[in-house]
Amino acid sequence: MIMDKKKHLLITGKIGSGKSTLISKILLLQNEPVYGFFTKKEKPDSFGNSYVYIHAPNQPRKYTKENCVGICTIGGSVGFSNIFDQHAYLLNNIPEGSLVVMDELGTMESEAFQFCQAVFSVLDGNFHVIASLKMKDTPFLNAIRNHPNVKLYSIDTENRDCLYEAILMDQEFHNLPEQMDTSSH
């Protein structure tokens, strides 16, 4: 298990700073099932629109209307609250003590009541959470940042290589696999 206490690891940083890469690197150390979700923003189409999809960890990724949670355009982004709410199940009925990934928590889901409620249920629950958090100032994201069970790390292009080591050495997350030799990474 990745954490010994009820502190959840949240990583924030600008787009392209390495949040998802760092999460994936940490998840490679795990030998247990991973619950939660990943989001994936596709490359822009010929009109400049990038669609965002939600996926369960350890399952084949699909790109359909049923899991398209938003769209990014030149003018901004729009989340599809109803699709987010339909995927709140990804954060429900998770066995206590499990590892839950939420990559990425952002602005698109802030109007999806059921999904947001599921996020806070996970943060309040007895789970081990690794999540990435968009660097925006919204009530939803600020509530996550200020959650008492959260420890927030900021990542950027300057610290992204050493942040992995810092997280592995952090005493609040010291329960990483014993066989791990952090000096070789």
Assigned domain for 99 exists: yes
What is the Cα Rg of the chain in Å?
A: 16
Assigned domain for 107 exists: yes
Q: Strand, coil or helix: what is 48? A: coil
pLDDT for residue 122: 97
Assigned domain for 126 exists: yes
Assigned domain for 127 exists: yes
Question: pLDDT-derived band of residue 111, with 50, 70 and 90 as boundaries?
Answer: very high
Neighbour tally for 160: CB within 10 Å: 16
One-letter amino acid of 48: G
Question: pLDDT-derived band of residue 170, with 50, 70 and 90 as boundaries?
Answer: confident
Would you say residue 4 has pLDDT above 80?
A: no
One-letter amino acid of 116: C
Q: Where are the alpha helices (DSSP H) in the chain?
A: 19-27, 81-86, 113-124, 139-145, 160-169
Phi-psi region of 172 (alpha: psi -120 to 50; beta: other; left: phi over 0): alpha
Per residue in 11-57, pLDDT tens?
999 988 999 999 999 888 888 899 999 999 999 999 999 999 999 99
Assigned domain for 74 exists: no
Assigned domain for 66 exists: no
Q: Could you give the CA distance from residue 57 to residue 82 in angstroms, rounded to a whole number?
A: 21
Q: 64-68, 76-80, 142-146, 171-175: lowest mean pLDDT where?
A: 171-175
Comparing CA positions, the residue from 161, 160, 178 lying closest to residue 12 is 160
Q: Are 158 and 35 in contact (CB under 8 A)?
A: no
Number of domains making up the chain:
1
How are strands ordered across the β-sheet holding 99-105?
76-79, 68-73, 50-55, 34-41, 99-105, 128-133, 8-12, 150-154
Assigned domain for 91 exists: yes
Would you say residue 176 has pLDDT above 60?
A: no
Instruction: State the residue range of the domain holding 144.
Output: 8-39+84-177
Q: Could you give the CA distance from residue 109 to residue 44 in angstroms, rounded to a whole number?
A: 20
pLDDT for residue 167: 86
pLDDT for residue 161: 84
Q: 1-5, 129-133, 158-162, 167-171: lowest mean pLDDT where?
A: 1-5
Mean pLDDT across the chain: 88
CATH assignment at residue 167: 3.40.50.300
Assigned domain for 169 exists: yes
